Structures are given as structure tokens and as C-alpha cells.
């Protein structure tokens, strides 16, 4: 993608989803990134991140989720852990910060195969500066569970959404990088993770998340 077009698209993605991506803390320590995947009129709100981001947090304890620009955290609980293979975790916002005055935009999933060469962007928080990062990238050949893409991410980006250019939908959840290559859990693996949790199948990710929200 040409630099000018890439820059314009990245700005549009940032403007649309800045309030959807959260910084996760526990005990005053920065853990990683998460993003809003469900919200309804009853203010039920679900967030997805990586299992390894919250793996050391007891299920009974509260995490702090900071929406962009907030200094008062929202109180978040872990609903479902994953494991080292399915590196995902589902979180529920128990109490929204008083500084969140507008509903966050729900980040929808692109539930189709991703082709090499597609332009994507990584949105998350940096562990060193605690600031919001936009990282334009390009997809490489992928597997049934993971997406690879060019990436220069730093610590703290685990749990970040990977957004498809021009479509504004999530194609994966970033969980690691090696050199200049990033790796994300693909939407098919996310769907299977939710199906195992709810013991259901043949439903979309959005339908599964709606059922999960009702169960919290």
C-alpha cells in the first residue's frame, strides 16, 4: 500500500477504534492489550485478550482496564481462560469507568480466510511508554490457527486486534512477534475457543459472544 494511502487508512482505523482498545493492568502493573468484542443496551461488555496476558491473575481478582484517555479504570473479571495452545482469554467488564461516556465501538470479526499480501494494522499499547500504537503491516502465508504478518511490535502488544484494511474488521489477535514477523490467532481459532467454552457450534462469533454475555 502506498505510504499516503496507508497513512490515511491508519488514521481512519485509529479514529474509529481508539475507544475500543484497552490497556490491561493488575496490581499496578501493565499486562497487555485487549479490545471490545461485545456491547449491548444493558451495558454488557466483553473484551478479548491473550491467555498469557492474564495467566497469572487469579480468576477471583479484578483487573483494571483503561480505555483510551481514561485515568479511572473499568473493573474487569476473567470469564474464560485459554491455555498455551489456545492463547485467548475472555473478560467481562463488571463496572465501567465513569469516564466512559459513550459506548465503545464493537470490533467485529472477518470470518473468512486471509490472503497473503493483504494490508492490516495492529492496534495496541506499548509496555515501555504505555501509549497507543498503530503498526501498519502486510499478511504473509497463514495456517489454520495463526496469521503471520510483517510487524515491529514491542512488549505489551499481546492481545491487540489485527484489523483488515478497508474492511475495518478483525482478522486475528496478536500474541507474539519474532524479528520482523508478527503472529496472530485467526478468527477460526477464536470461534473454536468460544464453541468449546459454550458447548455450541454452527454459530457466528457474534452469536457466540451474545450467548457468553448473557451467561455472565
**Domains of the chain from N-terminus onward:** 15-95 (2.40.10.10)
pLDDT per position as a tens digit, 35-67: 999 998 777 899 999 999 999 999 999 999 999
Q: Which of the two residues, 179 and 190, has the higher pLDDT score?
A: 190
Q: Tell me which residue of 131, 127, 147, 128 sits closest to 139, measured CA to CA.
A: 147
* DSSP letter, residue 106: P
Per-residue pLDDT reduced to its tens digit, 133-187: 667 788 876 677 899 988 766 777 999 999 998 899 999 999 998 888 899 999 9
Q: Give per-residue pLDDT as tens, 60-114.
A: 999 999 998 899 999 999 999 998 888 999 999 999 999 998 888 999 999 888 8
Nearest to 21 by CA among 110, 141, 121: 121
Residue 3: is its pLDDT beyond 60?
no
pLDDT at 1 over 60: no
- At residue 141, the pLDDT reads 66
Least trusted range by pLDDT, from 77-86, 122-131, 156-165, 189-198: 122-131
Distance CA 35, CA 122 (A): 12
How many helices (H) and strands (E) the chain has is answered by: 4, 12
- What span, in angstroms and rounded, lies between the C-alpha atoms of 36 and 47? 4
Looking at residue 116, its pLDDT comes to 82
Amino acid at each position: 500500500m502506498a505510504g499516503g494511502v496507508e497513512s490515511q487508512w491508519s488514521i481512519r482505523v485509529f479514529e474509529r477504534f481508539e475507544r475500543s482498545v484497552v490497556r490491561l493492568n493488575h496490581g499496578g502493573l501493565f499486562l497487555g492489550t485487549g479490545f471490545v468484542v461485545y456491547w449491548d443496551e444493558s451495558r454488557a461488555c466483553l473484551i478479548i485478550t491473550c491467555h498469557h496476558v492474564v495467566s497469572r491473575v487469579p480468576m477471583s481478582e479484578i483487573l483494571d482496564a483503561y480505555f483510551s484517555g481514561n485515568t479511572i479504570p473499568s473493573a474487569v473479571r476473567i470469564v474464560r481462560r485459554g491455555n498455551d495452545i489456545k492463547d485467548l482469554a475472555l473478560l467481562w467488564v463488571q463496572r465501567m469507568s465513569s469516564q466512559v461516556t459513550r459506548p465503545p465501538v464493537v470490533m467485529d470479526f472477518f470470518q473468512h480466510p486471509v490472503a497473503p499480501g493483504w494490508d492490516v494494522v495492529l492496534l495496541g499499547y506499548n509496555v515501555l511508554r504505555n501509549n497507543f500504537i498503530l503498526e501498519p503491516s502486510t499478511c504473509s502465508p497463514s495456517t489454520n490457527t495463526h496469521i503471520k504478518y510483517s510487524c515491529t511490535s514491542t512488549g505489551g502488544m499481546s492481545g491487540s486486534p489485527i484489523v483488515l484494511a478497508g474492511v475495518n474488521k478483525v482478522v486475528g489477535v496478536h500474541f507474539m512477534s519474532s524479528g520482523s514477523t508478527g503472529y496472530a490467532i485467526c478468527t477460526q481459532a477464536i470461534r473454536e475457543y468460544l464453541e468449546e467454552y459454550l458447548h455450541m457450534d454452527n454459530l457466528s462469533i457474534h452469536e457466540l459472544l451474545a450467548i457468553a454475555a448473557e451467561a455472565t
